[in-house]
Structure 1
Amino acid sequence: MKKQQVELFSETLRLAYTDQGEGRAFLLLHGGAGPASMSGLGGALAKNARTLVPTHPGFNGEPRPDRFTRIEDLVLMYLALLEKLDLRNVVVVGNSVGGWIAAELALRQSPRIAGIVLLNAVGIDTGVEGREIVDPSKLAPSERAALSFHAPERFSLAPSGPEAAAAMANNQRTLRVYAGEPFMHEPTLRSRLAGMTLPALVAWGASDRIVDVEYGRLYARSIPGARFELIPEAAHFPHIERQEEVVRLIGGFAAGL
């Protein structure tokens, strides 16, 4: 696995990413848990493909320009990355807020993207007046783990020490910069998804209590032709709790593109 850096936007933005494997490129976009939450999936997919796992600016201590404050900024950055690296036939895989970014990328209709995979994505409203997406930052670690994992005692992303806890808190602050108000969604996205022309796989951990299964089904129904797959014994991070199943689903989806 190679750790890389690339300068984008006339060398005004530095983007860090890991790059491993060969073959079709998969761009893996993390959520508020940071790039480590996607590294296992990246390694598994890299056995038969090329995987790139970037770190959104501001996460894990990476610099974030003051002007970078919206999901739209990240979308433009990843479009620029595809151009800079001359990537083609790319499958974009996004978890949580990374799924939101992936959906927005697909709406840009870049000829470099072949399809998207949304893993317990956020970004749309809940479809129920007064019902909001759960804010994990307002919960104690044990409560957050219980909502995010089917088996939190096995898979919880608990910090290993004070430095790791501080880094996790900083990641949550950065997440709020990009996606804080309205919390974790863009009011027009659900209606705009009707214009998506790229193939989409929406895979959902059945035990997720951050964004539940009905939210996932609503996401899939909003995208023309999207395929919905329910993953049992997994929650907000199905690619961690049921990695082999997620790799199988992604592989089958990519093979059909």
Structure 2
Amino acid sequence: MDASAQGHFVTLPDGLHLHYLDIGNGEPVIFIHGSGPGASGHSNFKQNYPVFAAAGYRTIVPDLPGYGASDKPDTLYTLDFFVAALSGLLDALDIQQCVLVGNSLGGAIAIKLALDQPQRVSRLVLMAPGGLMEKEQYYLQMEGIQKMGAAFAKGELHDAGGMRRLLALQLFDESLISDETVNERVAVVRQQPVCVLSTMQVPNMTSHLDELQCPILGFWGMNDKFCPVSGAQTMMQHCQNIRFVLLSECGHWVMVEHRELFNGECLAFFEEARS
């Protein structure tokens, strides 16, 4: 982990302990990771958030409940549960307004928080966000979702080989998977209860997308095996003040496979609001 990224813990009013990284100064940018088994904020965004901090932003990288070094309670992992936890973290840090950057489940969380508390979100950056179709459709259509759930339930991800096979589904170019990331995620997945995925509920928010008020920048890989790229068109049709970057030879992790493009496009998007 970047030596300059200090890990912190906060206890929310309901007793939930959340871990987060906090680096840099300036406008707050919150990075929200996805639901992949063993995920953490750092493992998802370690090639991104230091660049944003160096560019003059306060980058906050939480571990969602059930993930990373945060508490992993035996509870229902609904979208509202995640949104309440993120909102509680922002309250604890006295962050009145921020940019939300969300991948997959993190994208769905970002959308829901922006719908619930529009005054709190100045801009959205979404990478293949969830919450754009019914849960059954994801499981029926997407190879990655099917194999992820089965491997997690069977305990196949507790060793490096199993985790590497799963992460290969996330990327078009699996050579980008580092031993460091594999080991980080194996250490987390061994602590995760089955309910983290088995009870996850993310509703279809398509009918509410026209309520989003802030500018939106989206990314989607054409080879995504977890969230279908048709979601980009869904968002473009329903949202205002939105643009999308579609990438060939790219899977579910745009910020990993095309990190320089992702970082540069995001920073340019942020600078538009400053000028």
Matched, 1:4 2:12: no
Equivalent residue number for residue 137 of structure 1: 149
Give the letter aligned to residue 239 of structure 2: I
Contact 1:117/1:201, CA 8 A, preserved across alignment? yes
**1:78 pairs with 2:86:** yes
User: Which residue is 1:112 aligned to?
Assistant: 120
Q: Is the 8 A contact 1:96 1:120 kept in 2?
A: yes
Q: Report the equivalent of 1:151.
A: 173
Q: Provide the C-alpha distance between the structure 2 equivalents of 1:107 and 1:18, rounded to a whole number of angstroms.
A: 25
Q: How far does residue 138 in structure 1 lie from its aligned partner after superposition?
A: 2.9
State the Cα distance separating 1:116 from its structure 2 match.
0.9
Q: Cα–Cα, structure 1 residues 69 and 229, in superposed 2: closer, same or farther, change >3 Å? A: same
- State the distance in 2 between where 1:128 and 1:195 align: 25
Deviation at 1:154, TM superposition (A): 2.4
TM-score w.r.t. length of structure 1: 0.84
Instruction: Encode CA deviations 1:81-126: one digit per residue, 9 max, x unaligned.
Output: 2222122441100011111101101101342320111111112217
Which amino acid is 2:94 matched to?
D
Give the TM-score of the pair, scaled to structure 2: 0.79
Alignment match, 1:211? 227
Alignment of 1:1-257 (within 5 A): 1-9=5-13, 12-31=15-34, 32=36, 33-35=39-41, 36-48=43-55, 49-67=57-75, 69-125=77-133, 131-133=140-142, 134-135=144-145, 136-138=148-150, 144-155=166-177, 159-160=182-183, 165=186, 167-168=188-189, 170-171=191-192, 173=194, 175-177=196-198, 179=200, 181=201, 185-187=202-204, 189-257=205-273
SS of the residue corresponding to residue 76 of structure 1 reads helix
Q: 1:110 to 1:8 in 2, by over 3 A?
A: farther
Following TM superposition, by how much is the alpha carbon of 1:142 offset from its aligned partner in structure 2, in angstroms? 6.2
2:170 counterpart letter in structure 1: S
SS of equivalent to 2:65? coil
Contact 1:60–1:171 (CA<8 Å) still a contact in 2? no
> Higher mean Cα deviation, 43-52 or 131-140?
131-140
Amino acid at match of 1:186: P
> 2:63–2:69: 8 Å Cα contact kept in structure 1?
no
- In 2, the alpha carbon distance for the partners of 1:228 and 1:172 equals 35
Name the amino acid aligned to 1:27.
I
Q: CA deviation at 1:224?
A: 2.8
What's the CA shift for 1:169?
5.6
1:24 deviates by 1.3
**Residue identity matched to 2:29:** F
Write the distance in 2 (CA, Å) between the matches of 1:128 and 1:159: 29
> Deviation per CA, 1:128-187, whole angstroms, max 9, x where unpaired?
979544412336656644432121122367633xx95363365584541552x5xxx413
Superposed CA RMSD = 2.8
Quote the offset at 1:212 in angstroms.
Answer: 3.0
**CA 1:175–1:44: 2 relative to 1, 3 Å:** farther
What stretches of structure 2 of length at least 5 have no aligned partner?
152-161
CA distance in 2, matches of 1:212, 1:68: 25
